[in-house]
Structure 1
Amino acid sequence: MIVNSKIHRVLCSAVTAAIMTAIISFTLTAVNSGLHAFQFSNWLRAWIIAFSLVFAISFFLPAFVNRHVSKIIRIKE
């Protein structure tokens, strides 16, 4: 599949956010409720909320951080 760089960036952000939030929300849900009382619906709700936030943040935050760090630190050529 050939895509332009903007679509590639969105797909990478979405996949990274999905994997990270799935692992973290599963871990936190399992720890808080215990494995014996783990409910898939609780985990799914936590994952959807976390994914929504992390996807938006992972799409916009790198450019913001890069711009501000570039004002402070210069790259050695």
Structure 2
Amino acid sequence: MKILPFLSLLLVTSFVQAKGTLEVYWVDVEGGAATLVVTPAGESLLVDTGNPGTRDAGRIHQVATKVAGIKKIDHL
């Protein structure tokens, strides 16, 4: 239920005029998938990083930094 406050924030910010778009990235993390959401305001949320011990942190980091262009993940 930790995701509920962030989803509420997304709903509220969707009614505010913002430059940019809501970006959603899907990342294959070997045995699962992670979803990275970047809001028009630049906030980021990473959902489901895979199974402990088998998650592919390098792949998630590459998508976050090189593809999405973010420097840190705000919400995990």
TM range (shorter): 0.3 to 0.5
The structure whose residues are more often strand, as a share, is: 2
For normalisation by structure 1, the TM-score amounts to 0.32
The structure whose residues are more often helix, as a share, is: 1
State the structure with bigger RCO (CA 8 A, min sep 6), 1 or 2.
1
